[in-house]
Structure 1
Amino acid sequence: MQIQSSFNDEAGKLYLVPTPIGNLKDMTLRAKETLENVDLIAAEDTRTTGKLLGLLGIETSGKLVSFHEFNAKEKAPELVTQILAGHSLAQVSDAGMPVISDPGYELVQSAIAANIAVVSLPGPAAFTTALIASGLTAQPFTYYGFLPRKKKQQTDFLTEISRQKETAIFYEAPHRIRATLANLGETVGLNRQVVVARELTKLHEEYLRGTVAELIEHFETVEPRGEMVVLMGGYVESEKPTATLAELAVVVDQLVEDGQSKKDAIGQVARHAHLSKKELYDYYHNQPRE
């Protein structure tokens, strides 16, 4: 066990500074003051951070250094050397909290190893912002970051967590949300409650609440836009099927579009909706649909 109660008195400090996830008014006074006073600011994207600092009236000349996921391992020792030399350093990501699905872990680890004080400032994070307004159980919950992108890896992961009873939260990009919802239907079932929160704290903020089937149907006709937080309700033993045949048919269409045969897609959807395959087959092939 490592107990760190004293630090290198000659070294500077590492400040982990959150930035707004959308609305610039969410910048705290303490965060602004810290960025004004530190010697260096390690930024995920210096252009993005430069614009933010400019809007806040903070001078950036000579302070901004690049620190992102592709150079983090090489850059962290250099930044620690600067802190050990007495320079104070703030680390920021493009939006939200450093380290949370953003760069920062390597730098924090290196600073701790060098006996440098690490100061974490509180601030906005998209997943907690979405959670408290989702209507789903707020505790316990598990945050998973970004889901695997490849279909098999994603469905294997979703199958693994499908019977967990806590709320599950992950981030998703708009161009992948349809495939992810289809994979949720395949693994956790079409009747599981989900919430998709998009454009949080911005002008077009929106919470879409419903079953997996209902969200799949929604995005059949609405073009997904904006970065998204997906929240999935926990597994409930007594969960009753709620998806209609029309909603199930839309899911079949999505799976067919993703490359499955109609026969396999109907069988899969019927199984997860607790229906007979014949009932869904007859509806799918005989009911007129747009």
Structure 2
Amino acid sequence: MQAPPPHSLGTAKIPERLDNTVLVLAATPMGDIGDASQRLRDALGSADVVAAEDTRRTKALAKALGVEITGRIVSFYDHVETARIPALLDDIASGLTVLLVTDAGMPSVSDPGYRLVAAAVERDLPVTCLPGPSAVTTALALSGLPVERFCFDGFAPRKGGQRREWLRTLASEQRACVFFEAPHRLADCLADAVTVLGPDRRAAVCRELTKTYEEVVRGTLAELAAWSVEGARGEITVVLEGAQPVSADPADLVTEVETLVAGGMRLKDACAEVSAGRGASRKDLYEAVLAARSAE
């Protein structure tokens, strides 16, 4: 008999209709009300329960969309998220549709949501998503940088020491990195980036995306740091260019290979592991190890 899939993959079937028992995550406009989808409008008007990061903003959104929220609306923000989860799961299990929305963008992406999703999956309750606006993908598209591969790091650390340590982890990261930053910390963050990553790494600062005063400033970290000294307002998303691969001299990697071999790894496997991401040819590294051994 074939083994069942791991539970963490979530095997619950998504209902064909949203008015069945289901948790629905819905993306909301970041600024331009025209970005609201028809599916979001329908869900706001038909959900049995609307769990909202800010109930006042959600009611204002529904009013702007010409939608009447007929279901029960409950607050679902950071400080009450954990306490609200059991009742919302019971609602879903009893046959209700629960719609989760945040103030702007996609739930779970630096906003409340992932704990509820994880808990629903744990109970084999179906979860679906109404796609829509996201500051992450919007900033990537506007950055003008190579973003075929990227990582998302949420908000940059607030304290200088922690922020510089975090930036050091990006020194060799070849994927573009997207992160959020508060406007009053942007100048310090970019100054630290210049110090840690160098002045020539490219980036884009995206401000007030989709709103009236949307602005995208592109340039090197040095240029952006100088620009930010004057101050920036609004919600900030930063896209940092990935690091350029640096070709390592195979001779400099021999010791790392021999350490892995001493730990029981086959020489070819050790060469493959060490050469990965280091810009060195696996074949050249293998030959460098053999040359070093013969020279002993």
Q: TM-score range by the shorter chain?
A: 0.7 to 0.9
Name 2:251's counterpart in structure 1.
Answer: none
* Cα contact 1:196–1:228 (8 A) shared by 2: yes
Q: Does 1:142 align with 2:187?
A: no
Q: Does 1:56 align with 2:76?
A: no
* Cα contact 1:170–1:231 (8 A) shared by 2: yes
Name 1:79's counterpart in structure 2.
Answer: 88
Name 2:26's counterpart in structure 1.
Answer: 17
For residues 241-260 of structure 1, the aligned pairs below 5 Å read: none
Q: Does 1:133 align with 2:142?
A: yes
Cα gap change, 1:61 to 1:121, in 2 (>3 Å): closer
Amino acid in structure 1 at the alignment position of 2:50: I
Aligned length: 237
C-alpha displacement at 1:78, in angstroms? 1.2
C-alpha displacement at 1:205, in angstroms? 0.8
d(CA) in 2 for partners of 1:168 and 1:4?
28
Once superposed, what is the RMSD of the aligned Cα atoms? Answer: 1.9
d(CA) in 2 for partners of 1:200 and 1:4?
33
Name 1:164's counterpart in structure 2.
Answer: 173
Name 1:43's counterpart in structure 2.
Answer: 52
C-alpha displacement at 1:62, in angstroms? 5.3
d(CA) in 1 for partners of 2:149 and 2:220?
20
Match among 220, 239, 258 for residue 211 of structure 1: 220
Cα gap change, 1:189 to 1:123, in 2 (>3 Å): same
d(CA) in 1 for partners of 2:144 and 2:14?
46
For residues 67-216 of structure 1, the aligned pairs below 5 Å read: 67-216=76-225
C-alpha displacement at 1:210, in angstroms? 0.6
Name 1:236's counterpart in structure 2.
Answer: 244
Name 2:262's counterpart in structure 1.
Answer: none
d(CA) in 1 for partners of 2:65 and 2:22?
23
Amino acid in structure 2 at the alignment position of 1:234: G
Based on CA coordinates, which of the two structures has the bigger radius of gyration? 2
Amino acid in structure 1 at the alignment position of 2:117: V
Amino acid in structure 1 at the alignment position of 2:36: M
* Cα contact 1:8–1:115 (8 A) shared by 2: no
Amino acid in structure 2 at the alignment position of 1:168: C
* Cα contact 1:146–1:171 (8 A) shared by 2: yes
d(CA) in 2 for partners of 1:141 and 1:208?
19
C-alpha displacement at 1:23, in angstroms? 0.5
Is there any run of 5+ residues in structure 2 with no aligned partner, and where? 1-5, 247-296
SS where residue 129 of structure 1 aligns?
helix
* Cα contact 2:167–2:196 (8 A) shared by 1: yes
C-alpha displacement at 1:103, in angstroms? 0.2
* Deviation per residue, 1:111-146 (Å, 9 max, x gap): 111221101111110010010111111211111111
User: Could you state the TM-score of these two structures normalised by the residue count of structure 1?
Assistant: 0.78
d(CA) in 1 for partners of 2:69 and 2:98?
13
d(CA) in 1 for partners of 2:41 and 2:14?
25
